[in-house]
Amino acid sequence: MEAQTQSHKLTLSSVVSALFGITLIILGIACLVVGLKDDSSVAELPALPAPALAEGLRGEQFGIDANIDETTIDNYLDRGDSVYRDMRMLKDPGNYEAIGGDSYLSGFVEGFEVVPYPYLVNVSGLPDAVGSTYTGPTLFTEKNSKYTANYVESMQILEDLFPKDKKIFLMCGGGGYAGMTKNMLISLGWNAENIYNVGGYWFYEGAHDVPVKVENNGKTNYHFWKVPYHSIDFNTLTKL
Amino acid sequence: MKRLSRFIIPILVLIVGIVGFCFLFFVSTQRFRLSPEFIGAAGQPGEITHSSIAEIEDLAAEEKSFLVFVSQPDCVTADVFRAVITEFLGDHHLKILEINFSDIRGHTLAPGLKFYPSFLIFRSGELTGFLRADSNTDVEAYSSRDAFEKWLAGYVYF
């Protein structure tokens, strides 16, 4: 009787051990599969064409890319090896009512995060009719194409917003702020081969448009809560 | 006689073809004057006035000849070109309309207009020429006052 009980105990512990072992094996296989799958998804990322300038004014003056632009950016969205930045302000303080139109950000391409260029560096060269643009504090000051940090943290913030080990896709309204950002980053040591000026939101007709300006019953509303926005609190920074 | 007609008919056809081609070429490239309301007072600088798509539709319907600067607020891409136009207007008393790209893109009045900044030339209500921001041949006209004047003078007397 005792031997039978012993035998039952043995059998039960064997079954438990076997189940435990099988569970471990299944878990191991699952981890292996997931790991392999992750590896293959990295490998599946389509290769990026090297940055090249578009034809005409778009390439020559604004540095918009020939291959990755408003018409092709949809093919390059949501890449783990890249960051996507829209360089416009939510509201530009320029007096755009003087020349018609509104000065609010009216939409953006899904995946892009807004980092206003006027907060990075002083903007110059705007027409008189627009009046002064943003004149508040900036991370850097540009003079004769040389960029000087205004705060101890300026470079660290820039490196956080535009990681040097990632591909960087830039957009704005028409390609101007994006081109200026590209020039600035290159001047401050970023690799030009990693930076693409994709161009302007106004020329985008793809499938990932996120409208912010919404007309409803003759009323205009701005859905700013949709916008992934990087704020810079200059009050917390240490002036140089 | 039969031999003569073998030569005369092809020569006549050739002459008619050449004359027709020359006529069409002349008509299509003929320079024109802007409608009077778009020519300012002599000695005064020209000006850029903001317009609307409704106004431009009306002008086109009335078969007016006028110029339109296509820009977009909240964007620096148009500003360099705006400076070129403003410099040009210092010497020419023309009235140029300005419209937001977002208002005119895709409109039947400006087929083929894909990018701003741009500059549209309307002759008798029809778009006869415009600057392309994606064309190497137009880069100079965007960048210098003289090149812009030369380009515009290809269409308009001023």
Residue of higher predicted confidence among A134 and B94: B94
Among the residue ranges B19-28, B46-55, B138-147, the one predicted with the least confidence is: B19-28
Residue A177 Ramachandran class (φ > 0 left, ψ -120 to 50 alpha, else beta): alpha
Question: Which CA distances in Å does B124 have to A150, B35, B61, B98?
Answer: 55, 9, 9, 18
Residues of A in contact with B45 (CB under 8 A): none
Residue B2: count other Cβ atoms within 10 Å of its Cβ. 5
Q: What is the pLDDT of residues A82-97, one digit of tens each?
A: 999 999 988 877 655 5
User: DSSP 3-state helix, strand, coil percentages of chain B (rounded to 5)?
Assistant: 45, 20, 35
CB atoms A125 and B116 under 8 Å: no
Which one-letter DSSP state was computed for residue A54? P
- Give the integer Cα–Cα distance in Å for A67 and A51: 7
A173 and B77 in contact by Cβ < 8 A?
yes
Task: Kindly report which listed range (A13-17, A172-176, B38-42) carries the lowest average pLDDT score.
Answer: A13-17
Cβ–Cβ below 8 Å for A177 and B133: no
* Three-class SS state of B133: coil
Q: With an 8 Å Cβ cutoff, is A36 touching chain B?
A: no
Q: Give the closest-approach CA distance of B124 to chain A in angstroms.
A: 26
How high is the pLDDT of residue A220?
85
Contact A99, A130 (CB under 8 A): yes
pLDDT at B1: 58
Instruction: Indicate if the pLDDT at residue A33 is higher than 70.
Output: no
Reduce the DSSP state of residue B104 to 3 states and report it: helix
pLDDT in tens, B1-37: 566 667 777 777 777 767 666 555 555 557 999 999 9
What ranges make up the beta strands (E) of chain A?
82-86, 107-109, 113-114, 140-143, 146-149, 167-172, 195-200, 209-211, 213-216, 219-222
Distance (Å, rounded) from C-alpha B151 to C-alpha B114? Answer: 20
Contact B31, B155 (CB under 8 A): yes
Q: Is A200 within 8 Å of B98 when comparing Cβ atoms? A: no
The answer to whether A60 faces chain B, any CB pair under 8 Å, is: yes
* Chain B residues with beta carbon closer than 8 angstroms to that of A96: 73-74
Q: How far is A74 from chain B (nearest CA, A)?
A: 18
Q: Are B73 and A102 an interchain contact pair (Cβ–Cβ within 8 Å)?
A: yes
- Among A41-50, B80-89, B90-99, where is mean pLDDT lowest? A41-50
Interchain CB distance below 8 Å, A103 and B73: yes
**What pTM was estimated for this model as a whole?**
0.78
ipTM associated with this complex = 0.75
Length of chain B: 158
Instruction: Report the C-alpha gap between A219 and B140 in whole angstroms.
Output: 42
